[in-house]
Amino acid sequence: MAGKTLFEKIRDREIPAEIVHQDERCTAFRDISPQAPVHILIVPNKPVPRVGMAGPADEAVLGHLLLTAAEIARAEGIAESGYRLVINNGPDGGEAVPHLHVHLIGGRPLAWPPG
């Protein structure tokens, strides 16, 4: 059996992180290398390696991640000014941790294209 991912260790509080939300389906915490004043990662508690590997059984949790992101954006005070949700998939997509996660980024104007 493979070891826990970094995000599973954060979920289980084996690695310190500033957790801003946790429920039975997901955990959200501040990114240790923020790209904006608000940069929060929202991860499913059940490890899914990447969005491209999610299946029909993951449909409810995928929707929950997005609804949770909107809830956190309101709590962080960035819902009205706007924010970006990013899901990286694979090495060329910028994926660094093999555990699906949503980046909630905001608190400043964001350029497009992202780079």
Q: Which residues are catalytic?
A: 101
User: What is the C-alpha to C-alpha distance for residues 3 and 14, in angstroms, rounded to an integer?
Assistant: 13
Spell out the SS3 assignment of 68-108.
HHHHHHHHHCCCCCCEEEECCCCHHHCCCCCCCCEEEEECC
Query: Contact 43/7 with Cβ under 8 angstroms?
Result: yes
Listed in sequence order, the residues at least 6 apart from 13 whose beta carbon sits closer than 8 Å to its beta carbon are: 19
